[in-house]
Amino acid sequence: MSMGAAFLFPIPILFLAIRQAQPFYMLFRMVFIFGEILFLPCVLGILSSMIFLPETENNVLKNLLTIPVSKAKIFLSKCITLMILSIIYCLLELSISIAASCFVGGGMPLTSFLCFSILSGIFMFAASLPIIIFVAAFGENFTISNIVSFIYSVACFSLVYLCLGQGGEALLKSRAAVLPVVTVFKWYLGYFPLESRLEKYLPYLISNAGIMTYMLSFSLILLSLGAVIYQKKEV
Amino acid sequence: MNEFIIETRHLTKQYGTQKSVADLNIHVRKGRIYGLLGRNGAGKTTTMKMLLSLADPTEGEVFLWGRPLHGNEKKLLPRIGSMIESPGFYPNLTGTENLRIFAALRGVPNTHAVQDALELVGLPYKDKKLFSQYSLGMKQRLAIALVVMHDPELLILDEPINGLDPIGIAEVRAFLRELCDRKGKTILLSSHILSEIALLSDDIGIIDQGVLLEEESFSELEKKSKRHIHFIVSNTAQAARILESRFHETHFTVQDDHSILLYNLDLSVGKIVAAYVADGLEVSEAHTCEETLEDYFKRVTGGEGIA
């Protein structure tokens, strides 16, 4: 059901794109902003609670740990599952957008979009790691975990929204620019051709190699930290 | 070779300022059933969790088969079958599916292991009933099936008869006894039900507020608990000193200012009374008492709470 959210945004945005006669990449950009920046962290938070909490709630974790399976391995394997689900979510969004592409104009270099979807899935997973770790290490029940996931998601979207607003440049110059979701936004801006009104963001764009290095370092630190915290959690 | 399958040395677990287990030294011998008896919240489950590396001790060490558990978990834990607190399985899978997952994770080579384990506890192999639809007794049986599926040498069972009906309890009891007697398995089980421990255990550890109060073989405890001599004297402190200095006896309990219980029935009551009187003590009563095992445990743990 959570993954079904991938289909949620492309449809209303399609109507908007048709109405404003926008090309495919503009439709896809909007799908990315709403579907991935706003929704994906929340979807990953909910999926985390679905993946991490039942084993604790149903006492299965104790049986697994006495096999023995290390908690770090359990944590990392679940995180890899979440990363795969994140990529699938992004590919689902791309597929529904492609299905919608027959209604809008503009060229569509499929390989480029495919690459973007896979990379954005990985990067948004990395950007959602704080909420995933929170749910894994401190989540006690579904309600609280899902509320915190929703708050985190809204906070991510608000940051990106502020970047696009009037004081956006100031925000991109500030320390907040190093936050993973802002970094993903800077990479996203540079991935597709920039319209003239967005050219002011050119100095802040980040290359593929740049974001990969950043996200790899960020993920390694957070995954190690998460594994240590999860290891210390008593069952 | 170490004679103990489980040995703990000064095992302590502290949560904040509260000591859940304090300086615990238990010794479980090979091929014996060891019953850890204590009230609810006495520290039984925490102890078992530490024995399975599910909780880290604040102090002390756990030795299994003479080797420290810490650092040897991968080698030692596969030799154990355990059930801690309530049975834990995936609710949306059947019992067979659940066992298959754990058999695969444990790398159980016997392809019939799941079926054999289910048959052993009287659960159907080809059943579409999900674990969430199981009764408490069925859940408990499935948990026992999981414990024995990989043919472990040591079984650690936390309250194994919880939720079972009287026939189920008798079946599990007979089953555990058989595992121990015929297959030479070592079993550590915990319970707050005295009769259960009494019916099943070869050795007993009595735990209260995290402290091990007694550790004896069941036959020794029975001897201890059966009889004692009850003296009512004018001054128990003086009476205790006489027992220690003249009779070299320390196996007694001072109940209050006038009451003292002596557990060594080999001593002559007449000689003790004569010694008391010679030292100026007034002895108003001296009689032999029978004490049930339950009375004994209540006295040792200092109150009610063990059924």
Q: What is the pLDDT of residues A57-66, one digit of tens each?
A: 888 999 999 9
- Which of A52, A53, A62 is the best residue to mutate to test the B interface, defined by the most B CB atoms within 10 Å of its own CB? A62
ipTM over 0.90: no
Mean pLDDT of B129-138: 92
pLDDT tens-digit readout, B11-42 = 999 998 899 999 999 999 999 999 999 988 89
Distance from CA of A228 to the nearest CA of B (A): 14
Neighbours of B77 (CB within 10 A): 21
Mean pLDDT of B44-51: 95
Over pLDDT 70: what percentage of chain A?
Answer: 89
Mean pLDDT value across chain B: 90
Residues of B with CB under 8 A from a CB of A: 49, 52-55, 73-74, 77-78, 80, 82, 84-91, 102, 105-106, 146
pLDDT at B67: 95
pLDDT surpasses 60 at B305 = no
At A137, list the tokens: 């290490």
Closest by CA position to B14, among listed B3, B2, B24: B24
In the CATH scheme, what is the code of domain B224-301?
3.30.70
Mean pLDDT value across chain A: 87
pLDDT at A21: 66
- Which of A52, A63, A235 is the best residue to mutate to test the B interface, defined by the most B CB atoms within 10 Å of its own CB? A63
pLDDT at B80: 96
Over pLDDT 90: what percentage of chain A?
Answer: 49
Closest by CA position to A214, among listed A176, A187, A174, A175: A187
At B248, list the tokens: 């070299």
pLDDT surpasses 70 at A10 = no
Instruction: Measure CB to CB from residue B91 to each of A58, A61, A65 and give the nearest one.
Output: A58
Residue numbers in A near B85 (CB within 8 A) = 59, 62
A65–B contact, CB cutoff 8 A: yes
pLDDT tens-digit readout, B269-287 = 899 999 999 999 999 999 8
Superfamily of domain B4-209: P-loop containing nucleotide triphosphate hydrolases (3.40.50.300)
Tell me the domain boundaries of chain B.
Answer: 4-209, 224-301
- B306 pLDDT band, cuts 50/70/90, is low
pLDDT at A190: 86
Place of tokens 């802002």: A182
Number of domains in chain A: 1
pLDDT at A170: 85
Higher pLDDT, A190 or B66: B66
pLDDT at B161: 87
- Name the range with the highest mean pLDDT among A161-170, A217-226, B176-185: A217-226
- How far, in Å, CA of B264 to CA of A187, rounded? 85
- A98 pLDDT band, cuts 50/70/90, is confident
Residue A98: which domain range? Answer: 3-232
Q: Which of A118-122, B223-227, B303-307 has the least mean pLDDT? A: B303-307
- Which of A51, A52, A58, A230 is the best residue to mutate to test the B interface, defined by the most B CB atoms within 10 Å of its own CB? A58
pLDDT at B1: 57
Over pLDDT 90: what percentage of chain B?
Answer: 63
pLDDT surpasses 60 at A200 = yes
pLDDT at B95: 95
Q: Which pairing describes strands B252-254 and B80-83: parallel, antiparallel, or unpaired?
A: unpaired
Distance from CA of A132 to the nearest CA of B (A): 22
Distance from CA of A73 to the nearest CA of B (A): 13
pLDDT surpasses 80 at A40 = yes
pLDDT tens-digit readout, A125-135 = 999 999 999 99
pLDDT at B220: 80
- Contact (Cβ atoms closer than 8 angstroms) between residue B252 and residue B245: no
Mean pLDDT of B157-180: 89
Mean pLDDT of B164-192: 91
- How far, in Å, CA of A28 to CA of A101, rounded? 9
